[in-house]
């Protein structure tokens, strides 16, 4: 195995493991965030009967608003009270099935495209990181989009602990029956738009790491100290916070394009969805669930990249 092939394999493995660890740790917040982004009933009153079915109910804005607790903690409590603790991990199966190959594909592609663009642009500059991040993001989300459609359907299913649980297999059958292959690629355009967030993130992350090295806060050796891990986590968190706030509306659009809102679908494309949400719900609609998303995404990103960098450096040190 050549040195480049070995490096790609390490990045593939490290990306998969890091993604799975981060996704499992923050799964409950992912469920809450997705429900707050959606326009279907996402939180049932504690003692009210559940009217939703696997087909996914359609609600008016007033009904939807009444069904939403006021903050992340209240949302978590409502889910546990009405659906059981297991419901905090709805969609985790598809997430784990998809996150490892998704992150693995992403990191491997990022490493590959970074090498490619280093030969096109000035090496290790912002254009290189930007181009590599966008190329890797488009590749990964195109391949794995069907998995995330299924995950969204499962996360939005409000069936209680006493009633029938919507399975991934049944979800796949329902999507195929209603829309065929096209149904598995809903929200793909919004995912493409989301590569802008990833691009901003990687540019900032690489810049923060370089600044830390210049200040002597990161070692250039292959060994990784506990201080290095903390610095990676801080750099990752700061970069992710900035990128997320800038690009967040695409997350809301993606969720609404993927949700099942009945026969009369209200959301059809990225631009149409953004315009409709803005007209009907204003800024709050475009940034629904942002607080929960930030609470989730910053530790998720920090855990992800700390795990990734540690595995890569450990592998490099072990092979020397």
CATH number for position 115: 1.50.40.10
* Separation CA 67–CA 60 (nearest Å): 11
> Helices H, strands E: what count in the chain?
12, 0
pLDDT of res. 62: 38
Work out the pLDDT band at 299, boundaries 50, 70, 90. confident
String of b and e for 118-143 (b: at least 16 CB within 10 Å)? Answer: eeeeeeeeeebbbbbbbbbbbbbbee
At residue 52, the pLDDT reads: 46
Q: pLDDT confidence of 147, banded at 50, 70, 90?
A: very high
> Could you tell me which residues come within 8 angstroms of residue 78 by beta carbon, excluding any fewer than 6 positions away?
43, 44, 46, 69
Q: Which residue range is the domain that position 125 belongs to? A: 3-319
Residue 133 has a pLDDT of 82
pLDDT of amino acid 95: 86
Predicted structure pTM score = 0.72
Q: Tell me which of 320 and 181 has the higher pLDDT.
A: 181
pLDDT (tens digit per residue) in 149-178: 999 999 888 776 655 567 888 899 999 998
pLDDT tens, position by position, 196-249: 887 788 778 878 877 777 776 655 545 556 666 777 777 877 888 888 888 999
Is 139 a residue whose pLDDT tops 60? yes
Query: How many domains is the chain built from?
Result: 1
User: Sign of the C-alpha dihedral, residues 103, 108, 111, 114?
Assistant: negative
Question: What does the pLDDT read at residue 314?
Answer: 80
Tens of pLDDT, residues 108-132? 888 889 999 999 998 888 788 888 8
Across the chain, mean pLDDT equals 80
Alpha helices (runs of H) in 26-71, residue ranges in sequence order: 27-37, 61-66
Neighbours of 146 (CB within 10 A): 18
pLDDT score of 79 more than 80: yes
Q: How far is CA 192 from CA 142, 162, 189, in A?
A: 8, 39, 5
* pLDDT tens-digit map of 234-266: 787 788 888 888 899 999 999 999 988 776 788
More confident position, 213 or 268: 268
Quick one: what percent of the chain has pLDDT higher than 70?
A: 82
Output the pLDDT for position 300. 81
């Amino acid at each position: 195995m050549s040195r480049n092939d070995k490096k790609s394999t390490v990045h593939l493995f490290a990306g998969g493991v890091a993604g799975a660890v981060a996704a499992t740790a923050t799964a409950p917040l992912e469920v809450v965030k997705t429900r707050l982004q959606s326009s279907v009933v996402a939180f049932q009153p504690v003692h009210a009967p559940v009217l939703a079915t696997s087909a996914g109910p359609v609600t008016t804005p007033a009904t939807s608003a009444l069904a939403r607790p006021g903050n992340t903690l209240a949302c978590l409590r409502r889910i546990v009270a009405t659906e059981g603790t297991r419901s905090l991990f709805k969609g985790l199966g598809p997430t784990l099935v998809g996150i490892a190959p998704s992150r693995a594909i992403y990191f491997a592609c990022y490493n590959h495209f970074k090498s490619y663009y280093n030969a096109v642009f000035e090496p290790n500059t912002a254009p290189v990181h930007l181009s590599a991040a966008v190329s890797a993001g488009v590749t990964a989300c195109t391949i794995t989009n069907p998995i995330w459609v299924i995950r969204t359907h499962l996360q939005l299913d409000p069936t209680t602990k006493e009633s029938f649980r919507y399975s991934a297999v049944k979800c796949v059958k329902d999507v195929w029956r209603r829309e065929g292959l096209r149904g598995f690629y809903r929200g793909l355009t919004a995912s493409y738009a989301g590569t802008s967030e990833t691009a901003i993130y990687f540019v900032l992350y690489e810049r923060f790491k370089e600044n830390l090295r210049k200040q002597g806060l990161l070692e250039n050796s292959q060994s990784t100290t506990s201080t290095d891990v903390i610095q990676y986590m801080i750099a990752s968190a700061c970069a992710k916070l900035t990128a997320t706030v800038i690009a967040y509306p695409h997350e809301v659009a993606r969720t609404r394009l993927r949700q099942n809102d009945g026969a009369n679908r209200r959301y059809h494309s990225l631009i149409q969805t953004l315009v409709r949400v803005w007209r009907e719900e204003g800024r709050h609609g475009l940034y629904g669930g942002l607080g929960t998303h930030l609470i989730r995404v910053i530790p998720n990103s920090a855990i992800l990249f700390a795990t990734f960098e540690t595995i890569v450096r450990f592998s490099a040190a072990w092979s020397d």
